[in-house]
Amino acid sequence: MRYQWIDEYLKSMKGVSSDFKEEWNWTRYLLDGKMFAAVCWDGQGKEQLITLKLEPAEGEFLRQQYEDIIPGYYMNKIHWNSVKADGNVPDYLLKDLLEKSYRLVLAGLPKKKQKELLGE
């Protein structure tokens, strides 16, 4: 995978936890128990896809701009997108998309929980 920084980057976000969902072969990144990103592994233990949540219009636009961004693998194709782990999506863009996914899930939590997770 060309995005070797992804695990450290996601775990550095406030309130993030992770687990490995064995039956899916995914490492999930969660905010208050709600997934906002996942690294999907193939059968040989190699990273295959990075799945994240985006606003529908932005996801659709990006899929038209980058062949390595596809509708979310095993997810709702309107809200979720997958980035090929060996693709050519620039690091700065993937970081931005992961941040947006984090913010979307955070915004869906109660205000009190948001403040708690952000340490406010």
CATH number, domain containing residue 34: 3.90.1150.30
Whether 119 is covered by a domain: the verdict is no
pTM, whole model, 2 decimals? 0.91
Whether 90 is covered by a domain: the verdict is yes
The helix (H) or strand (E) run that includes residue 20 is strand 16-21
- Between β-strands 69-71 and 16-21, what pairing exists: parallel, antiparallel or unpaired? unpaired
Q: How many domains are contained in the chain?
A: 1
pLDDT (tens digit per residue) in 17-52:
999 998 888 999 999 999 999 998 877 666 689 999
Whether 30 is covered by a domain: the verdict is yes
What residues contact residue 16 under an 8 Å CB cut-off, 6+ apart? 10, 29, 30, 31, 102
Question: 68 lies in which domain range?
Answer: 6-111
Whether 61 is covered by a domain: the verdict is yes
Q: Report residues of the chain scoring pLDDT below 70.
A: 1, 44-47
